[in-house]
Amino acid sequence: MLSLFALHKSNRFVHVSEVERGLACDCRCAVCGEPVIARQGELREHHFAHSSNADPCASSYESDLHRFAKRVIIEARGLVVPVSLAASQALGFGGRLDPSILLACTDIEEEVDVGNRRPDLLAATTAGVNVAIEVAYSSFCSAEKCHAYEQLQMPALEIDLRAFTPTAFDVVKVTHAILEDVAGKTWLWPENIEAQTPGELSAENAPKQHFLLEEIVTIQGRWISVKELPSGDIAIKAVRYDPDVVSVVRTVARAHSGRYREAYHNWVIPRFRAQAARLQLRAIASAA
Ligand SMILES: [Zn+2]
């Protein structure tokens, strides 16, 4: 099978669509280390070929996809995950009922043994919780996996990437599915989150709290959280400190009568300007 991935000289594991054509791709074969040429011609599917013209090294698309997904999560230092009451509690967020939340991580390690499993990634969240992340392409949510994490009482997320076959692989779409979308994400433990929506939580268990909707606006790979408050005002903040993003947030906030809340490191925009501020952030994101 043709090789769709290679190792860039920066040590980044890249898809053929992310590099320049030919030897200018500056990549090596991820298996044997030989320099490769990015073939991006009209006739054949784009791929990497050894510069010596030797036959492609044997590689597995499934493990390459895993490796790519790990790169994306490590570079982003987090991802958006679905939340149920159980997941929220296991993640240390208490009884919040957002349908999804950005899980920002302080540390992400690859291939660490936890109990009898070796998840693709083991992430430490900013709330201090260890979360296992498994990427799935051909086998999903087995009872064995769920049970292993239940015994460890460790939240474990599975990301379903089966839609992204070699020919359907699109860097932007795959990255979106991994980082921002929650449709393909399932908690192996606490279980069955996908069956649970906030509306189905029983009234007794549900804390008396408003439903806070969070939108993540991505500007050049960096995240801005836009959260609707019960009053209809919105709170915006850069998810992680980054001078450029902080400055975008400040500019947009000031343009829409925002006020800074020191304690939360966020800006609150009054509800009558909320939609305009949201649209401006989205416009900046799509122009970036
Ligand atoms: Zn090779």
Cβ contacts of 224 within 8 Å, gap of 6 or more: 216, 217, 218, 236, 237, 238, 239, 245, 248, 249, 281
Distance 49 CA to ligand 1 centre (A): 8
Range name among 90-94, 108-112, 212-216 with the lowest pLDDT average: 212-216
pLDDT higher than 90, residue 70: yes
* Mean of pLDDT over the chain: 87
Which amino acid does the sequence have at 222? Answer: R
Is pLDDT of 94 > 50?
A: yes
What is the whole-number distance in angstroms between the Cα of residue 137 and the centre of ligand 1? Answer: 24
* Paired strand residues for 73: none
- CATH 3.90.1570 maps onto the chain at 64-200
DSSP state of 51: T
Query: Does the pLDDT at position 227 exceed 60?
Result: yes
Q: What's the gap in Å between 107 CA and the centre of ligand 1?
A: 31
**For residue 174, pLDDT beyond 50:** yes
- What is the Å distance from ligand 1's center to 3 Cα? 9
Q: Name the token pair of 9.
A: 């000289």
83-87, 160-164, 174-178: segment of lowest average pLDDT: 83-87
| More confident of the two residues 222 and 36 | 36
What does 119-135 look like in DSSP terms, one character per residue?
Answer: -SEEEEETTS-EEEEEE
Give the helix/strand (H/E) hosting 91: none
Mention every residue, 6+ apart, whose C-beta is less than 8 A from residue 129.
Answer: 90, 91, 92, 155
CA of residue 48 to ligand 1 center, whole Å: 10
Please provide residue 261's backbone torsions phi and psi, each rounded to the nearest 5 degrees. -110, 105
Tokens of 243: 């001078």
The whole-number average pLDDT for the span 104-125 is 91
Distance between Cα 57 and ligand 1 center (Å): 4
Neighbours of ion ligand 1 (CB under 5 A): 29, 31-32, 57
CA of 2 to the centre of ligand 1 (A): 11
Greater confidence (116 vs 22) lies with 22
Q: How far away, in angstroms, is 83 Cα from ligand 1 center? A: 42
The CATH class of 64-200 is alpha beta
Q: How far is residue 40 from each of residues 44, 81, 184, measured CA to CA in Å?
A: 8, 35, 30
Average pLDDT over residues 193-211: 41
3-state SS class at 102: strand
**Dist. CA 246 → ligand 1 center (Å):** 43
At residue 154, what are phi and psi to the nearest 5 degrees?
-115, 120
